[in-house]
């Protein structure tokens, strides 16, 4: 990246030096030297009189700093808000960069997909859209809770922020304190929700009870936020659709952050999406349940986030839902759901079941 004279990282004696180790030896200002570890090692980088401060140089939203995400080395992330001011968010730093990609550490860090979606939600929260104002909002797989906080800052009446990780729930609670200090009307409620095994539950009733026990509900939410959940394995993705069945209706708005993978790019054939010539079953299932409502959002340009797309989705009227099948496979045998009627399968293929072999689930 070429640096101009008014850049935080411009220094005449360091022009042309690209090697990080060489920059450190020569004391060249850089994001790595000045901003790592929350800027504690970069005091010599700041010259307030010249306009160079930690806020200006290290915040996300300036100096193209988003290319450094995930900031595995820092406990705090500073985000520059478009309407002025900064948002300070806590995360769980890892011992090294490679540790950040372990499954148990992923929920505790801010990733590029969530940051790209944050910028989209920031725009949607502002006039003339203001899609969160007075709405009930649910986030699934919230991680550090950044998107839930954006919904609260946008005037949501209620925000429920969920994640399967208990450590993430603690992070969300700590970060949500910011919304209280800012006097935001919609407080963020953090809940631990592991929906990975929802499809193995015996009935829809048990799934509803699970949500009610977590004080999630009643009824559908106005807005549901999902960021980069298309990366999960297929069985977990099917369980996600079962939860979405219970928390949405045709008036609900599903804000879907696809991430940077083409697996989650919804601008492909809805008839049968493919990736590299292979059928993409997760994308197929999603598009059978929800339709794209409006053009996708992406930051554009040539930055590190240009390929991360986000979408507005609406539930399809013809989707039978996860639970609305006549037949269920329970304990290895096909059975008929209580109260179900023939012809309510929504086009789902059913096996041939012999007379007398059917039992009620």
Tens of pLDDT, residues 260-278 = 654 455 654 444 455 555 5
If asked whether residues 294 and 347 sit together in one domain, one would say no
Residue 32 phi, psi dihedral angles, 5° rounding: -60, -40
The per-residue pLDDT for 326 is 36
If asked whether residues 261 and 148 sit together in one domain, one would say yes
The per-residue pLDDT for 218 is 66
Name residues whose C-beta falls within 8 Å of residue 67's C-beta, 6 or more positions apart in sequence.
303, 304
pTM of the predicted structure, to 2 decimals:
0.83
As for how many domains the chain has, the answer is 3
| 226 within some domain | yes
How far is C-alpha 169 from the geometric centre of its chain's CA atoms?
A: 15
If asked whether residues 296 and 350 sit together in one domain, one would say no
| 70 within some domain | no
- Tokens read off for 94: 């890892």
If asked whether residues 15 and 144 sit together in one domain, one would say no
If asked whether residues 280 and 329 sit together in one domain, one would say no
| 94 within some domain | no
Q: How far from each other are the two terminal CA atoms of the chain, in whole angstroms? A: 62
Q: Which residues of the chain have pLDDT under 70?
A: 1-5, 40-44, 185-186, 200-202, 218, 259-279, 299-304, 324-361
If asked whether residues 189 and 268 sit together in one domain, one would say yes
| 47 within some domain | yes
Domain that holds residue 13: 1-58
In this structure, the strands spanning 309-315 and 359-360 are unpaired
DSSP assignment of 118-137 equals HHHHHHHHSTTT-TTTT-EE
If asked whether residues 192 and 292 sit together in one domain, one would say yes
| 91 within some domain | no
| 122 within some domain | yes
The per-residue pLDDT for 351 is 39
| 237 within some domain | yes
If asked whether residues 200 and 262 sit together in one domain, one would say yes
CB 272 within 8 A of CB 279: yes
The per-residue pLDDT for 339 is 44
- Tokens read off for 91: 């995360």
CB 266 within 8 A of CB 287: yes
Taking the CA atoms of residue 215, residue 217, residue 218 and residue 224 in that order, the dihedral angle to the nearest 10 degrees is 170
Residues 310, 259: Cα–Cα separation, whole Å: 7
| 87 within some domain | no
Beta carbons within 10 angstroms of residue 290's beta carbon: 22
The per-residue pLDDT for 269 is 43
If asked whether residues 281 and 330 sit together in one domain, one would say no
Provide the sign of the torsion angle of the four alpha carbons 187, 192, 195, 196, taken in this order. Answer: positive
Give the CATH number, domain containing residue 299.
3.40.50.150
The per-residue pLDDT for 260 is 64
Note the pLDDT tens digit of each residue in 13-48.
787 777 777 777 777 788 887 888 777 666 667 777
Residues 107, 85: Cα–Cα separation, whole Å: 26
Beta carbons within 10 angstroms of residue 62's beta carbon: 15
Residues 137, 296: Cα–Cα separation, whole Å: 20
């Amino acid at each position: 990246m070429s640096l101009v004279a008014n850049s935080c990282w411009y220094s005449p004696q360091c022009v042309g030096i690209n090697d990080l180790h060489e920059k450190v030896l020569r004391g060249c200002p850089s994001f790595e030297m000045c901003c790592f570890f929350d800027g504690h090692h970069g005091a010599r980088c700041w010259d307030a009189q010249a306009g160079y401060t930690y806020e200006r140089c290290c915040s996300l939203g300036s100096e193209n700093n988003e290319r450094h995400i995930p900031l595995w080395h820092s406990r705090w992330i500073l985000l520059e808000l478009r309407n002025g001011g900064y948002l300070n968010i806590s995360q769980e730093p890892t011992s090294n960069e490679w540790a950040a990609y372990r499954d148990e550490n992923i929920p505790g860090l801010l990733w590029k997909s969530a940051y790209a979606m944050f910028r989209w939600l920031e725009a949607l929260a502002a006039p003339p859209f203001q899609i969160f104002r007075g709405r009930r909002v649910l986030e699934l797989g919230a991680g550090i809770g950044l998107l839930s906080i954006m919904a609260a800052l946008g005037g949501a009446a209620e925000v429920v922020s969920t994640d399967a990780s208990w450590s993430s729930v603690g992070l969300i609670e700590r970060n949500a304190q910011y919304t209280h200090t800012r006097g935001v009307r919609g407080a963020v409620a953090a809940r631990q929700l592991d929906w990975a095994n929802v499809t193995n539950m015996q009935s829809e009733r048990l799934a509803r009870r699970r949500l009610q026990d977590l004080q999630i509900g009643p009824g559908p939410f106005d807005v549901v936020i999902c960021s980069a959940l298309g990366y999960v394995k297929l069985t977990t993705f099917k369980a996600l659709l079962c939860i979405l069945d219970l928390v949405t209706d045709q008036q609900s708005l599903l804000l879907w952050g696809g991430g940077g993978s083409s697996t989650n790019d919804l601008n492909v054939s809805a008839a049968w999406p493919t990736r590299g010539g292979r059928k993409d079953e997760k994308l197929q299932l999603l598009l059978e349940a929800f339709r794209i409502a409006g053009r996708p959002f992406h930051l554009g340009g040539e930055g590190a986030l240009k390929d991360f797309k986000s979408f507005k989705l609406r539930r399809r009227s013809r989707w039978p839902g996860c639970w609305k099948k006549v037949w269920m496979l329970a304990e290895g045998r096909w059975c008929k759901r209580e109260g179900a009627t023939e012809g309510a399968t929504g086009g789902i293929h059913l096996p041939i079941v012999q007379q007398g072999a059917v039992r009620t689930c």
